[in-house]
């Protein structure tokens, strides 16, 4: 069950060229005030979104000017954060950092007063590969173990994830649809809470992103079972894909910085430029490598193409599984 969620890799060359081209523009007058920038995350602290955003918040003030704060708002399945950004003054100081779940999926399945066209990407951080994991002393240690246990005792395995029908839930839904397996879904506030529940022995399995668990996997504190992607994750090179195990469920995603559509174009361009220059700095590259964030920034134009294609693709998936008409 392969779904054609567009990937960012084909736009890397364009993004690199853009990073070279932006240098002359950074001397232009800033459209920002001295007030802090807020990167608002629709998940709890400690997950991949939080980790990645903090690389930018630590390095971008030198290039952008104002201080940058990372704010987690996991309420209402992420819609608290989305609506907070939507209702903020459109001056570029309040931005959403999210995967497709709280904005693309919610735009289809939730009662919201905005549409997908009310948003514009500023920059894409990276491509993300949803990963299933558990603790090393759990009886389930492989994809095959999970399938066997679920077949032997349907509905007995607890599975934690944030963002209903988002990046760490929708792959599970597709996998269950393809295999007929049943699991007990346990919603969480984000990757940090999911990880705590697993490590504390409160749930069996969880879904997260490689950056969130790579260090624990390397230390033997967690076991990664499999990745819902066409290729293995560079952060978890020893973890097989579900396709390798015989299950053709492939659903990568992205992590973007998104502004409302009424933020002026010159402000979005300035933010794109200073963010991308910051992330190309040696400090940011070192931080990204240290936390396995895998940051490969993509400019606003290419991110917009990716966003719009994802809106179409997620809509098709939701129709296929009967979530929308």
Does residue 81 surpass a pLDDT of 90? yes
**Looking at the 3D structure of the chain, how many domains does it have?**
2
Which pLDDT value is given to residue 11? 47
- pLDDT, tens digit, for every residue of 226-279? 999 999 998 899 999 999 999 999 998 899 999 999 999 999 999 999 999 999
How does the average pLDDT of the chain come out, rounded? Answer: 90
Three-class SS of the chain: CECCCCCCHHHHHHHHHHHHHCHHHHHCCCCCCCCCEEEEECCCCCCHHHHHHHHHHHHCHHHHCCCEEEEECCHHHHHHHHHHHHHCCCCCCEEEEECCHHHHHHHHHCCCCCCHHHEEEEEEEEEECCEEEECCCCCCCCHHHHHHHHHHCCCCCEEEECCCCCCCCHHHHHHHHHHCCCCEEEECCCHHHHHHHHHCCCCCEEEECHHHHHHHHHCCCCEEEEECCCCCECCECCCCECCCCCCCCECCEEEEEEEECCCCHHHHHHHHHHHHHHHCCHHHHHHHHHCCCCCCCECHHHHHHHHHHHHHHHHHHHHHCCCCC
Q: Which of 209, 227, 245 is where one domain is finished? A: 227
pTM: 0.81
Look at 6-15, 100-109, 179-188, 246-255 and tell me which has the smallest mean pLDDT.
6-15
- pLDDT, tens digit, for every residue of 285-309? 999 998 888 899 999 999 999 999 9
- Is 148 inside a domain boundary? yes
Same domain, 123 and 21: yes
Same domain, 113 and 154: no
Which pLDDT value is given to residue 10? 46
- Residue 20 sits in a domain of what CATH number? 3.40.190.150
Same domain, 93 and 200: no
Stretch 7-18: mean pLDDT = 47
Provide the residue range defining the domain that includes 41.
9-128+254-320
Same domain, 103 and 183: no
Same domain, 57 and 103: yes
């Amino acid at each position: 069950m392969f779904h054609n969620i567009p990937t960012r890799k084909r736009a890397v060359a364009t993004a690199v060229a853009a990073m070279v081209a932006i240098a002359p523009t950074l001397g232009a007058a800033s459209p920002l005030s001295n007030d802090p920038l807020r990167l608002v995350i629709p998940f709890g602290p400690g997950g991949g979104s939080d980790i990645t955003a903090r690389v930018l918040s630590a390095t971008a003030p030198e290039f952008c000017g104002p201080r940058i704060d990372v704010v987690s708002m996991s309420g209402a399945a992420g819609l608290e954060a989305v609506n907070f950004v939507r209702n903020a003054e459109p001056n570029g100081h309040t931005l959403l950092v999210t995967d497709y779940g709280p904005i693309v999926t919610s735009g289809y399945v939730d009662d919201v007063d905005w549409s997908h066209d009310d948003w514009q990407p500023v920059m894409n951080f990276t491509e993300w590969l949803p990963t299933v994991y558990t603790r090393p002393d759990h009886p389930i240690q492989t994809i095959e173990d999970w399938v066997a246990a679920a077949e032997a005792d349907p509905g007995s395995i607890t599975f934690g994830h944030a963002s209903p029908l988002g990046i760490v839930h929708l792959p599970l839904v597709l996998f269950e649809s393809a295999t007929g397996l049943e699991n007990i879904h346990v919603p969480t506030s984000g990757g940090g809470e999911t990880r705590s529940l697993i490590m504390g022995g409160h749930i069996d399995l969880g879904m997260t992103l490689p950056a969130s668990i790579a260090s624990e996997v390397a230390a033997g504190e967690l076991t990664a079972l499999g990745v819902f992607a066409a290729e293995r994750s560079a952060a978890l090179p020893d973890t097989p894909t579900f396709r390798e195990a015989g299950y053709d469920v492939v659903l990568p995603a992205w992590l973007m910085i998104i502004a409302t559509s009424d933020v002026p174009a010159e402000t979005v361009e300035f933010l794109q430029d200073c963010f991308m220059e910051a992330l190309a700095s040696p400090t940011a590259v070192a931080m990204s490598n240290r936390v396995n964030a895998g940051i490969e920034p993509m400019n606003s134009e290419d991110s917009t193409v990716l966003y719009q294609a994802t809106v179409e693709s997620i809509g098709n998936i939701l129709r296929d599984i009967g979530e929308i008409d």
